[in-house]
Amino acid sequence: MKNSTLILITALLAAQAQAGEFSLTLGGMHNATNTSASLGIPILGAKLEVDGESDLDLTEKSVSPYIKAEYRFNDYHSVYADWRSLHRHSSANFSSKSKHLLGSKLDAHAKLDLTLDLDIARIGYAYRFVSSDSFNLDAMFGIHLMSIKSEGGVTAGVHKDDKEWFRYNKKANKNTLAPLPNIGLRGSYQVTPNINITSHLQAFMLSTRLYDGHLLDANIGLEYQLTDSLSVNASYNHYEVAVEYGDSLLNSQITMEFSGPMLSLEYQF
């Protein structure tokens, strides 16, 4: 996905030879993350809930890079692409309370190693349908490309009278690319000749017989124009994706969200 984004950015740079305006934004975001999952078996009335940060010790706070390229054909039409990443690792140990069964003492333990790498790219088209000297509003249409790479290993065992009775060891890795269409709005309001308030909101919802899910991407910031070509933007960002699956035998839900401040520089060529 990184290569696809770079190819699109290169294409946008090549388009600079034609009439129009090209801008490049580089920044970093300080993330506070929250990951939760649940697994239920309705016929047994059983449900397991896991918090990624407290139960699995996934890194709660981190700094992730951000890059965006946009080409504006004229005052009304533009295309854009951006990319951000969130990479986390955890290692956690679990132990059960000892139980006595048929004169023997049983206890179980497990160790979990998990790497969760999340890369998100937006590719889309924006149409400016409101334009004035101080206020602009764009409609946005595009897709979010979410790449999820997970690697993990589970080592578990059961002890009987302090001697190992059963042992389980498994490692696995999986790469998933999920394209999600979305629509949204973005706007800017000029407070002074050098200061703008900027914001965007994109969302997508899906509901079928077995699946329910949503995506939310929101941002609000303050932009300061340093020169005619260079500006700095301080913003607060929130990103959330949730997927739920359910039938008569099994239901599961996973929610990932991260939010926090971001500082970026934008240069217009």
Domain residues for 22? 2-268
| pLDDT for res 119 | 83
| Residue 18, token pair as written in the block | 């034609």
Q: Which residue has the tokens 């699109």?
A: 8
| pLDDT for res 68 | 95
Largest CA distance in the chain: 84
The CATH number for 129's domain is: 2.40.128.90
Distance CA 222, CA 267 (A): 16
- Name the nearest CA neighbour of 239 among 204, 188, 189: 204
Distance CA 82, CA 148 (A): 17
Degrees, nearest 5: CA angle 10-67-56: 130
CA distances to 67, 117, 135 from 215, rounded to whole Å, are 20, 18, 27
pTM: 0.69
52, containing H or E segment? none
β-strand partners of 14 = none
pLDDT per residue of the chain (269 residues) written in tens, 0 to 9: 555 555 555 555 554 445 579 999 999 988 877 776 666 655 555 566 666 666 665 666 678 889 999 999 998 999 999 998 877 665 555 555 555 555 565 555 555 555 667 788 889 999 999 999 899 999 999 988 877 666 555 555 555 556 665 555 555 565 667 677 889 999 999 999 999 999 999 887 766 555 567 778 899 999 999 999 999 999 999 988 776 665 555 566 667 788 899 999 999 99
Q: Are the beta carbons of 125 and 78 closer than 8 angstroms?
A: yes
Count how many domains the chain has.
1
Q: Can you point out the beta strands (E) in 12-134?
A: 21-41, 46-51, 61-72, 77-95, 99-101, 104-131
| pLDDT for res 16 | 47
| pLDDT for res 73 | 93
The per-type count for the chain, helices as H runs and strands as E runs, is: 1, 12
Distance CA 264, CA 266 (A): 7
Distance CA 168, CA 156 (A): 5
3-class state of residue 3 by DSSP? helix
- Name the DSSP class of 53: T
